[in-house]
Amino acid sequence: MKKPFSRKYDKGNIEVVTKGDTHHMKPRNPKHKLLLGPGPSNPDPRVLRAMSEPTLGHLDPDFVAIMDETTELLRYVFGTENELTIPISGTGSAGMETALVNSLEPGDKAIICIAGVFGERMADLAGRMDVEVIRVDAPWGKPVDPEDVRLAVKQHPDAKIVAIVHAETSTGVLQPLEEIAQLAHENGMRIVVDAVTSLGGMEVPVDRLGLDFVFSGTQKCLSCPPGLAPITVGERALEFIRNRKTKCPSWYLDLSMISRYWGGERFYHHTAPINMIYALNESLRIIKEEGLEARWARHKLNQKALIAGLEAMGMKLVVDPEYRLPSLTTVYFPEGIEDVPARMKLLNEFGIEIGAGLGDFKGRVWRIGLMGTNSTKPNVLFLLAALEDVLVSMGARVPQGAGLQAASEVYRGA
Amino acid sequence: MKKPFSRKYDKGNIEVVTKGDTHHMKPRNPKHKLLLGPGPSNPDPRVLRAMSEPTLGHLDPDFVAIMDETTELLRYVFGTENELTIPISGTGSAGMETALVNSLEPGDKAIICIAGVFGERMADLAGRMDVEVIRVDAPWGKPVDPEDVRLAVKQHPDAKIVAIVHAETSTGVLQPLEEIAQLAHENGMRIVVDAVTSLGGMEVPVDRLGLDFVFSGTQKCLSCPPGLAPITVGERALEFIRNRKTKCPSWYLDLSMISRYWGGERFYHHTAPINMIYALNESLRIIKEEGLEARWARHKLNQKALIAGLEAMGMKLVVDPEYRLPSLTTVYFPEGIEDVPARMKLLNEFGIEIGAGLGDFKGRVWRIGLMGTNSTKPNVLFLLAALEDVLVSMGARVPQGAGLQAASEVYRGA
């Protein structure tokens, strides 16, 4: 970009003075692409339109009504009656930080289950808080072993929380949440759950398991742009927040203050991201219209068809069948295929984005997301057709039409 | 809202199954209102449209190009060549927290200038970080006295930062930034500046004064919805970040990591709020088209007309002339007028929002913002006309038409 300058030009009979040089700038016209990576996924067009509704003041009675409705819809999606169920004004990682800074005090011990990038992130985050982190590790692509958690809980009965990623976005593994939540609660510990890639795509059993802190992000199975982190806080956790001895180390994410704005008091904390909340409101309405159970079943069916297609094309799945995430599938791509050129071909020729492998899986694995609005039969068949074309054009041996046929059979049998 | 239920209804010849009850919910149709309070202000329609452009992946080459352009435009608006000039993924207060957690280490001393809500907020925030806070207080509605800062700096030569709110949104006072920045730098301290209500409405002299950490928000004079906090970090501050002995206490706001995503490396940190960044990009293009100097002059002129009008109507300004903010005017409303009913009348009858007084000024003062797109002659005259109507209808003695006439004279003389 050059330095600003002034220029006069004629536009009909109106003289326009242009002070900057934005008319020389490339137009910002992002093309529609099909986002089948680990997120963001494509928002429903209704959600994008909602974002451009007129901005209201953050204490305007009309906006307050939208806030109330949004929390009510969030409770539906989280399966909870928790009063403190709100969107945090940041992306999913801000939700993670909110959960940890509000569930721990300096000197506390935290048991953290680590089986990928997002478990590591929780450990990094807790480590910044003068908290002793007890790691329970699992190999990449595997679930955490509840027996290891049982051992950690026994060895550290003074730990205050157990933290677990429900749906590990870096590996596509669904973690054994039920057993681990039970272990935590039997030993008087609170459980902190990352539900970023599960919420809206499968059950997140908040009230059924009495989960204490559960956070998510808007850009995965809620089909809303990134920018908000829904969180729900149970009664036991709220009790801790009310009685903590030290202030929450973060002001921006301090739930004791934020809850006074979202609760009846409407006490000003920070200016809510108004238009993002319109978007979340609309995306939650769409989920309510479909119904949670129907939505979860849809995610399962499309995942099943995708997997049948990938396997018929000769590819191997990373995760054992019982731990596969309905919303995110990790697959070893064929040997001899170069990672980046193949994904770029898919993006440039077909407008489809899929995700690279992270950490241990870098350069060996692709991550394919079928999240929210994107989890459909047309998308599965389109992706399989495009993948076949890209792989064959790059020299891989893929049995012709086998992927599409296998996926179609799943749909016919459903 | 009632419990979800299932219902079938006929829509032409298509059978629609509605699982939720959103068709019973009140439509979310926020009306256009004129936001003349302390923020958010009305975004330009172009900015709202930009928000609804198709969501791209956070590593998509087309999105990366938009990121680069946005940082370039932010440098223009901040008046800086600082490389690390980016939007933080949160509202203005997240920008404040980013500046403080990245400018201090445990055990450090911080001199904080406090002359209203946002100075207090900085002290609260720093106090959560195992930092010793040295307060330099000023009465509400007054600027901080540079002599008091000189004394504090002399008494605490080991302090690491001086923090100041450039434009205190709770009082409408422009603080003496230049003198205080000089005092900080003469004594080897970094200066942290809250430019939330100044950026885009008046000069924020980042490079001219060598300011170290300067943060803002999108929802004031940038005329973009709330949700992002632009920040710029100078070379001296960057040097500190690179060499700090402890990790930044916040993971989400850790500039050493965030800068690796916004810099050439594109190292994944968290998923950027894609559509909010489209909005910021568009709002910055609009500023570039107008030109900064023209924009600052426009804010000054409209403020002058507003003040002339308010004074002609018999109201008293809170702030002495030389410290008045071009973007935000604080005024004592007429005695006998009830605060909330008057503002509600303005909102319900005219669709105009103005702000309540905070803290010491609660129930005595109104805050009137003329920010960004909203700082126009039509808005000034409309507000004065509406105010006269509301005040007269509530029994105040206001000389008929005097406000409009005084404001018009300012425009005729300009």
pLDDT digit string (tens) for B387-399?
999 999 999 999 9
Nearest residue, CB atoms, B276 vs list A48, A63, A276: A276
Q: Print burial letters for B309-334: b (CB count within 10 Å at least 16), e (below 16).
A: bbebbebebbbeeebbbbbbbbbebb
* Mean pLDDT value across residues B250-277: 96
Find, in chain B, the residue whose alpha carbon is nearest to that of A39: B57
Decide: helix, strand or coil at residue B353: strand
Chain-centroid distance, C-alpha A58: 26
DSSP string of B44-55?
A: PHHHHHHHTSPP
CB B48 within 8 A of CB B176: no
Which pLDDT does position A26 carry in this prediction? Answer: 79
Cis peptide before A106 (omega within 30 of 0): no
Using a CB-CB distance cutoff of 8 angstroms, which residues of chain B are in contact with residue A94? 89-90, 252, 270
Q: Helix A92-103 vs helix A117-127: angle between axes, to the nearest 10 degrees?
A: 40
- Pairing between β-strand B365-369 and β-strand B355-356 as defined by DSSP bridges: antiparallel
Which pLDDT does position B21 carry in this prediction? Answer: 63
DSSP string of A4-57?
A: ---EEEEETTEEEEE-S-GGGSPP--PPP-EE-SSSPPPPPHHHHHHHTSPP--
Decide: helix, strand or coil at residue A143: coil
At B184-196, the pLDDT tens digits run 999 999 999 999 9
Q: Within an 8 Å CB–CB cutoff, is residue B26 touching chain A?
A: yes
Q: Please state whether B388 falls in left (phi above 0), alpha (psi between -120 and 50) or beta.
A: alpha
Which pLDDT does position B231 carry in this prediction? Answer: 98
| Residue B300 burial (CB count, 10 A) | 17
Q: Which residues contact B32 (CB under 8 A, 6 or more apart)?
A: A54, B42, B351
Domains in chain B (CATH in brackets) are 45-289 (3.40.640.10), 292-413 (3.90.1150.10)
Q: Determine the residue type at B318.
A: V
Which pLDDT does position B414 carry in this prediction? Answer: 86
At B156-192, the pLDDT tens digits run 999 999 999 999 999 999 999 999 999 999 999 999 9
Decide: helix, strand or coil at residue A70: helix
Nearest residue, CB atoms, A226 vs list B1, B92, B271: B271
State which residues of chain A have pLDDT below 50. Answer: 1-18
CB A98 within 8 A of CB A88: yes
d(CA B334, nearest CA chain A) in Å:
23
Which pLDDT does position A19 carry in this prediction? Answer: 57
ipTM at complex level: 0.94
CB B318 within 8 A of CB B171: yes
The model's pTM: 0.94
Distance CA B187, CA B167 (A): 24
Q: Within an 8 Å CB–CB cutoff, is residue A348 touching chain B?
A: no
Chain-chain contact of B48 with A48 (C-beta, under 8 angstroms): no
* Rg of chain B in Å (alpha carbons): 23
Chain B stretch 163-222, residues whose beta carbon is closer than 8 A to a beta carbon of chain A: 217, 219
d(CA B392, nearest CA chain A) in Å:
24
Q: Which of A9, A80, A250 is best to mutate for the B interface (most B CBs within 10 A)?
A: A250
CB neighbour class for B150 (10 Å; exposed up to 12, middle 13-18, buried from 19): middle
Distance CA A376, CA A296 (A): 12
Q: Within an 8 Å CB–CB cutoff, is residue B7 touching chain A?
A: no
Chain-chain contact of B271 with A40 (C-beta, under 8 angstroms): yes
Which pLDDT does position B23 carry in this prediction? Answer: 65
Q: In whole angstroms, how far apart are CA A325 and each of A174, A176, A201, A319, B219?
A: 5, 12, 9, 9, 38
> Quick one: pLDDT band at residue B19, thresholds 50, 70, 90?
low
pLDDT at residue B114 greater than cutoff 50: yes
Distance CA A162, CA A176 (A): 13
* Mean pLDDT value across residues B396-403: 96
Nearest residue, CB atoms, A289 vs list B19, B53, B353: B19
